[in-house]
Amino acid sequence: MTTIEEILKMAGNVQAELEKAQAALDRVEVEGVSGGGLVRVVASAKGRIVRLEIDPSLLAPESKEMTEDLVVAAFNDARAKADQAAQAMMREMTAGLPLPPGFRL
C-alpha cells in the first residue's frame, strides 16, 4: 500500500522531471517551411521563434501579400512540429512514471 509520504515523493520526482523536460524542450529546434522552401521558420519545441529566413525573390513589393501568407504558413508549420516534438519528449519523460491511465501533463 502506498503511503502519503511515498505519493509526495513521487510527485516531487514528477515535478523535477517535468522541469527538466521543459528546459530540454527549449533546446530542441524544429523547422517550418512554406512556399517550397522560400520561407523557413526555426522554432524551439516550446514554440519560441529562433530564426526567420525569407528568400530574396519574395521581397519585391508586388510579392508582399504572398510573402505574408508564406510567413504565416511557415510559422504554423513550425508550431505544429514544435507541438509534436514536445509531445514525443513528454511521452519519453513520463514513460516510467506510475501515472493513472489517461492522465495528461
| pLDDT for the residue 33 | 93
Find the CATH number of the domain harbouring 55.
Answer: 3.30.1310.10
Integer-rounded Cα Rg, in Å, for the chain is: 20
| pLDDT for the residue 31 | 92
Is the pTM here over 0.85, yes or no?
Answer: no
How far, in Å, CA of 101 to CA of 50, rounded? 36
Domain that holds residue 53: 4-93
Q: Could you tell me the pLDDT band of residue 73, with boundaries at 50, 70 and 90? A: very high
Q: Does some domain include residue 87? A: yes
Positions of E strands within 1-105: 29-34, 39-44, 49-54
Q: Does some domain include residue 32? A: yes
Q: Could you tell me the pLDDT band of residue 102, with boundaries at 50, 70 and 90? A: low
How far, in Å, CA of 100 to CA of 89, rounded? 19
Query: Starting at the edge strand that comes first in sequence, how are the strands of the sheet with 29-34 ordered?
Result: 29-34, 39-44, 49-54
Look at 96 and 23; give whichever has higher pLDDT: 23
Q: Does some domain include residue 103? A: no
Average predicted confidence (pLDDT) for the chain: 83
Q: Does some domain include residue 58? A: yes
φ/ψ of residue 60, rounded to 5: -75, 140
pLDDT digits (tens, 9 = 90+) for 15-62: 787 788 778 888 888 899 999 999 999 988 887 888 899 999 988 889
Q: Does some domain include residue 8? A: yes
Q: Does some domain include residue 61? A: yes
Q: Does some domain include residue 102? A: no
Q: How many domains does the chain have?
A: 1
| pLDDT for the residue 3 | 78
Q: Does some domain include residue 105? A: no
